[in-house]
Structure 1
């Protein structure tokens, strides 16, 4: 597949995930859209599905080869697990953990908040408990890396 077609399919895949259209997502994946991709803004389909709390699309993308720990965006987004934990999407967090997402992986290439930081400050206690059960280690978030200091 040439680079231009791949780029077009990647953008369409992120758009289909954004609107929560599983049939279109499946069709795009069958047409060759890579599950491990990003649109022109750097947004990955898996991050978009995780932030939206769409556990079904998260599972579909993971099964198609999306990595659970790929950071999304250019500084303004983060990891799929952080995105899901931030909004308390417990079922989505569960799906990401089941596919090997690192419960301690911090955003911003390791310098930002962890999924547990986001869940705790949400506050989303059920999500935080799930992350701790998966091995996340509690610890204070750096005061200089929180969302209010970007």
Structure 2
């Protein structure tokens, strides 16, 4: 695939994930958009879907090859698991954990918080409990 087409498909996929449009996500993937991609700002479709709690889109992106621990953006974003935990999207957190997301991975570009930090400060006790069950440890 040439660079221009790759960029166009990546943008279509990120935009579709941002608005939670499942059919457009599927269409972009069928057209060859790589699931592990980012827009020019560094935002990944998996992060966008995770922040918005679109567990169905998260599952499709993960099945298509998106890596669950890829950090998104350059400062204001973070990992998909942190994004989902921040907003208490328990089903999305579960989908990410089921695909190997690290429950103890701290964000490098943002706050340096873990998913459990985000869920606890949310406050989202159900999400925090799920993370602890998955092996998340509280920071000292």
State the TM bucket, normalised to the shorter chain: over 0.9
Partner of 2:128: 128
Q: Distance in 2 between matches of 1:20 and 1:120?
A: 26
Q: Distance in 2 between matches of 1:97 and 1:5?
A: 32
Q: Distance in 2 between matches of 1:19 and 1:111?
A: 25
**Normalised TM-score (structure 2):** 0.97
Cα deviation, residue 111, structure 1: 7.2
1:44 paired with 2:41, answer no
Aligned residues: 140
Partner of 1:60: 60
1:70 paired with 2:70, answer yes
Q: Distance in 2 between matches of 1:52 and 1:59?
A: 13
Superposed CA RMSD in Å reads 1.2
Unaligned runs of 5+ in 2: none
**2:108 counterpart SS class:** helix
Q: Which string of whole-angstrom CA distances, capped at 9 and with x for unpartnered residues, describes residues 37-60 of structure 1? A: 000110000000000000000000
Q: Distance in 2 between matches of 1:19 and 1:86?
A: 18
Unaligned runs of 5+ in 1: 141-150
Q: Distance in 1 between matches of 2:80 and 2:46?
A: 6
1:24 paired with 2:47, answer no
Q: Distance in 2 between matches of 1:109 and 1:102?
A: 16
